[in-house]
Amino acid sequence: AQKITQTQPGMFVQEKEAVTLDCTYDTSDPSYGLFWYKQPSSGEMIFLIYQGSYDQQNATEGRYSLNFQKARKSANLVISASQLGDSAMYFCAMREPPNAGGTSYGKLTFGQGTILTVHP
């Protein structure tokens, strides 16, 4: 079963408008971390925002915010005031809880990604 699901292969938004990129996850462990990365056409991976499972408030970083709904296991990325430079692939990722041997600390599991296109 997929641990991270991004159901929107592609999204379009008008410049200066807000857009929400969906992400749902699956884990039975109460301790986990969720990350969003941006990947422009150049291929580099740019870290955007982090949400811990015990964080009381939704994370925000500039124009990025995370709509964290723990009971629904969703961690949607909201980009406000979209800019042309926001056009890219966006990935949601979850830091896994450790396995029985404790060797899996730090591993990230990525979703399939959403391609965002910002129109002028």
Partner 1 sequence: DGGITQSPKYLFRKEGQNVTLSCEQNLNHDAMYWYRQDPGQGLRLIYYSQIVNDFQKGDIAEGYSVSREKKESFPLTVTSAQKNPTAFYLCASSPVSGSMSSYEQYFGPGTRLTVT
User: Residue 32 Cβ, how far from partner 1 at the closest point, in Å?
Assistant: 6
- Asked if residues 22 and 7 have their Cβ atoms less than 8 Å apart, the reply is yes
Q: Provide the minimum distance between the beta carbon of 82 and partner 1 in the complex, in angstroms, as a whole number.
A: 22
Please report, as residue ranges, which positions from 27 to 46 form the binding site for partner 1 (by CB under 8 A): 29, 31-33, 35, 37, 42-45
* CA neighbor of 94 nearest in space, from 8, 49, 6, 35: 35
From the list 18-26, 62-70, 73-81, 90-98, the region that binds partner 1 by CB under 8 A is 90-98
The answer to whether 15 and 80 have CB atoms below 8 angstroms apart is: no
Q: Does residue number 98 form part of the binding site for partner 1 (CB under 8 A)?
A: yes
Q: Are 77 and 36 in contact (CB under 8 A)?
A: yes
